[in-house]
Amino acid sequence: MKVKAKFYADFRRLFDAEEEVELGDQARIEDLLNKLCDTDERRQELLDSSGKAKPSVMVVLRRGQRSDVVDKEHTELKDGDLVMVLRAIFGG
């Protein structure tokens, strides 16, 4: 299946604005992120030491689902999905 990842804000210094990735059937967000993090710098920016997305990373699916709400890394992808990767904004 093919999935597009679109990067925002400071992630654009590490990734193209949009990257298309070929993944196997039943791939999940964690599979996409691990495939995209093909350098140490990318991996350190997006993933923690266990290979999971850092809490500061927000992933949103085109289908209108915020993956951090439904099960972040384990959210299953579908062919043609657009996955938006951006920094979570904290404040109060």
pLDDT in tens, 21-72: 999 999 998 899 999 999 999 999 999 988 888 888 888 876 655 555 446 6
- Tracing tokens 């298309």 back to the chain, one arrives at 20
Q: Nearest 5°: phi and psi at 79? A: -55, 130
Torsion of CA 15, 17, 22, 28, to 10 degrees: 80
Domain 2-87, architecture per CATH = Roll (3.10)
Side chain identity at residue 4, one-letter code: K
pLDDT of 67: 54
In terms of Cα–Cα distance, which of 24, 27, 36 is closest to 76?
Answer: 27
Q: Give the whole-angstrom CA distance, residue 46 versus residue 63.
A: 22
- Residue 90, pLDDT > 80, answer no
- Least confident among 5-9, 10-14, 42-46, 60-64: 60-64
Q: Is residue 43 within a helix (H) or strand (E), and if so which, with residue range? A: helix 40-46
